[in-house]
Chain A
Amino acid sequence: MREILSIHVGQCGNQIADRFWRLILREHGLGPDGMPTGKGMTSNNSSMEVFFNKVRDGKYVPRAVLVDLEPGVIARIEGGDMSQLFDESSIVRKIPGAANNWARGYHKEGERVIDQIMNVIDAAVEKTKSLQGFLVTHSIGGGSGSGLGSLILERLRAAYPRKKIFTFSVAPSRLISDSAVEPYNAILTLQRIKDNADAAVVLDNEALFSIARGKLNRNPNYMDLNHIVALIMSSVTASLRFPGKLNTDLGEFVTNLVPFPGNHFLTASFAPMRAPGQEGQVRINFPDLARETFDEANFTAAIDWANGVYLSACALFRGDVRAKEAEENMALIRKELNFASYVPTGIKLGYAETAPEGFASSGLALVNHTGISAVFERLVTQFDIMFDNHAYTHWYEESGVSRDMMAQARETVAQLAQSYRDAS
């Protein structure tokens, strides 16, 4: 077994959990209570254990830890049709919230709850035979997902130095902004992701918003954005869960995608992007699928494509896909992509026989592109404007985060952006 433990932190992290687990349940032929429905693809897949722990009455319990400093989102999950799904011993809800303040999530409130979270994680890890790693979903702009998320990443790395930590980190956007201090929270969190994670898929709300608006033909809501994230997370792990000719695990992704230490910030794309319920309506041929998968407008972060190069890329196709056709098409696409001159390899390919529910076939691209520096530079600029005017920093100082700490994080992220620019 190569199990994966998902850790969902904060409001955004748990909203993603809601969409993600719904999708995973359907993919594995399970009902919202974790019992097999007899429908779906259970018979096809041999690796239920990756995401689920089977308990005595035949129920499959997600290997998931849900954490929040305010009860709202988790309470909604528990009050909905998945009320019987999660193990109550794996849910950590604490009040009061982090009030959008990284420092409260990291220090004040975080300190009171981090050991409980680690104990719950340890207990979940003890139920695995050979844990592959962790998926962490959170936003880096809020208080809980960013501050407490950072603390969890630090403790996780210290406790499990050899396990892969893969984050799905939602970056704040100017279009959909909840709070003025998001750039502070984001910069402080990015520093911890750089130091403690093996790979981070940057999910820029701005980019997700425009994908959703373009592909769904209506004004998207957070559920639509989270559905895109769920499809990406599902595909990243698909070849571990479903049979396929080329298996790609988290470790292989990391080896192929991260050419320099610390430069592990990725962006992803899922195709074909359709509104929920409309997936099967358009049957897409492979060349179109491959093109859409690598369409710049389809990636989840606002990458500066024009001023950067590809450092690496992985593609995973699911469903009705012929390997020969995939290889030929991807070789063509590879020629069109602007790779760094010192990267001789092609695009690493993986296949899984089972497509996400409702799709005949699908494509996932995970890429490391130096244009991601634009995301960091945008946040650093927003950070500087406030920081130089001492705006809002007192909230952080009151909760144990000094201006020096903030400046250090800013420096780390600015250097990260520069290292990406230098690699171009």
Chain B
Amino acid sequence: MNSSIESLIYSASRSVEEARRAAYRDPSRIGELVEHISVLADLRQKEGDFRKAESLYREALYRVQDVRKPDPELTLGIHSLLAYLYDRWGRSEQATEYYEKALKIATERGMQNTDKVATIKNNLAMIYKSMKDTEKAERYYHEALEEFQRLDGDNSSRVASVFNNLGVLYYANMDVERAQEMHERALKIRRDLPDGDMDPADLSQTFLNLGAVYKATGDFRMAEECVDRAKRIRSGMNGYVTRPRRAASLLIDRTA
């Protein structure tokens, strides 16, 4: 294990311990404890200790309900973090259960029109896709897409990402025509993004995905051209490694 995460875990553990003592003496400080627990859980997850991360998130989940007026945003956040953990752990059933619970909280508390909820829907769609539940995956991608379009307008990187994900879903279901349409829309947005927002890795991935679609339609010339474009973009990245996108805030599927 890398020593910097080790020392971060050490100090986060001490903070949790202190917060436990404080909450034990004064139950009104449970909120602080929950926040410290979430920090430690996130580090445990990064460290790869999913068992401990799960226990921590689940404690946070119950603790937050002990408060007289549970903070809905915090409750939703913890559900979503726990779901994300289960997803990374390969426990799809539990991941969907907790994402669905998070969505229910959002609906009950009037938070359905937020980017957090749109992100959850995108993530949930990805899991349903991996579980071969195409119908639910498509529905959640479309709901996420609508929400991101409403929040960001038609031309944002988040909107492009959902188009990309939909393209991958259609391609996996042999619906090549719609896959092509989705990837072309993703491509148009990604090409036109301002420099600061444009991630060359995303753009190159879109070319690769599109290349796969053209290959499936039998248009080998276009397929080759797309793959060439993707290669050129990658070679121009000079060893630049994309930042990991599988963050709890936004999961974007870029696999073809």
Binds A, one of B50-58, B92-100, B116-124, B223-231: B50-58
A112 to B60, CA, bound (A): 10
Tell whether B13 is near chain A: CB-to-CB under 8 Å.
yes
- Residue numbers of A with Cβ under 8 A of B are 87-89, 91, 112-113, 115-116, 118-120, 122-123, 126, 159
**B55 with A118: CB separation less than 8 A:** yes
**B62 with A91: CB separation less than 8 A:** no
Binds A, one of B17-25, B134-142, B190-198, B214-222: B17-25
A23 to B248, CA, bound (A): 50
| Binary contact track B4-38/A, C-beta < 8 Å → 1, others 0 | 00000000010011101100110000000000010
29 contacts across the A-B interface (CB closer than 8 A)? A88-B21, A88-B24, A88-B25, A89-B21, A89-B24, A91-B24, A112-B62, A115-B54, A115-B55, A115-B56, A115-B58, A115-B59, A116-B59, A116-B62, A116-B63, A118-B55, A119-B16, A119-B37, A119-B52, A119-B55, A119-B56, A119-B59, A120-B20, A122-B52, A122-B55, A123-B13, A123-B17, A126-B13, A159-B51
| Chain A residues within 8 Å of B24, by CB | 88-89, 91
| Binary contact track B41-68/A, C-beta < 8 Å → 1, others 0 | 0000000000110111011001100000
Which 8 residue pairs of A and B lie closest in terms of their CB atoms, listed nearest first?
A89-B20, A115-B58, A115-B59, A115-B55, A116-B59, A88-B24, A88-B21, A89-B17
A175 to chain B, nearest CB (A): 37
A235 to B16, CA, bound (A): 35
| Chain B residues within 8 Å of A120, by CB | 20
Interface size on B, residues (CB 8 A): 18
Point out which of A91, A113, A118 has the most chain B C-beta atoms below 10 A from its C-beta: A118
User: Other CB < 8 Å A-B pairs besides A88-B21, A159-B51, 8 of them?
Assistant: A87-B21, A89-B24, A113-B62, A115-B58, A116-B62, A119-B37, A119-B55, A122-B55
A116 to B16, CA, bound (A): 12
Residue of A nearest to B62 (CB): A112
Residue of B nearest to A90 (CB): B20
| Chain B residues within 8 Å of A123, by CB | 13, 16-17
- Contact A115-B62, Cβ < 8 Å, known A88-B25, A89-B24, A122-B55: yes
| Chain A residues within 8 Å of B13, by CB | 123, 126
B256 to chain A, nearest CB (A): 38
B44 to chain A, nearest CB (A): 9
B250 to chain A, nearest CB (A): 27
A120 to B23, CA, bound (A): 14
| Chain A residues within 8 Å of B63, by CB | 116
B4 to chain A, nearest CB (A): 18
A68 to chain B, nearest CB (A): 13
A267 to chain B, nearest CB (A): 35
Q: Given B20, B37, B51, which contacts A88 in the complex, CB threshold below 8 Å?
A: B20
A108 to chain B, nearest CB (A): 12
A91 to B55, CA, bound (A): 17
A192 to chain B, nearest CB (A): 19
| Chain B residues within 8 Å of A159, by CB | 51
